[in-house]
Structure 1
Amino acid sequence: MVLRLAFGEEVVAVVCGYAPHIGLWDQEKRVFWHCIDVDVGGIPRGKRICIGSDFNGHIGKVSDSFQAIHRGFGFGDRNETTTELLEFVVAHDLGIINSNFKKTDSHLITSCIGGRNTPIGYLLMRQ
Structure 2
Amino acid sequence: MCFGGEILNIISAYAPQVGCTEDEKGYFWRDLDGVMQELEEHERVIVGADLNGHVGSENEEIGGVHGAYGIGERDPERESVVDFAVSFDMAIVNTFFKKKREHLITCRSG
Q: TM-score higher than 0.5 here? A: yes
| Aligned positions, number | 110
Deviation at 1:88, TM superposition (A): 0.8
Question: Aligned runs of 1:1-127 on 2, under 5 Å?
Answer: 5-114=1-110
Amino acid of the structure 2 residue aligned with 1:33: W
The whole-number CA distance in structure 1 between the counterparts of 2:43 and 2:101 is 32
Identity %: 33
* Separation in 2, partners of 1:111, 1:72: 20
5+ residue gaps, structure 2, are none
Following superposition, the deviation at residue 10 of structure 1 comes to 1.7
| Distance (Å, rounded) in 2 between the aligned partners of 1:57 and 1:89 | 12
Structure ranking higher in strand proportion: 1
Q: Distance in 1 between matches of 2:87 and 2:24?
A: 21
The amino acid of 1:7's aligned partner reads F
Taking structure 1 as the reference length, the TM-score comes to: 0.81
Q: Distance in 2 between matches of 1:45 and 1:72?
A: 28
Q: Distance in 2 between matches of 1:91 and 1:8?
A: 26
Kindly provide the CA deviation profile for residues 85-109 of structure 1, in whole angstroms up to 9, marking residues without a partner as x. Answer: 1001100111111011211112221
SS for the counterpart of 1:98 is helix
Question: Any gaps of 5 or more consecutive residues in structure 1?
Answer: 115-127
Instruction: Work out the CA distance in 1 between the residues paired with 2:81 and 2:97.
Output: 19
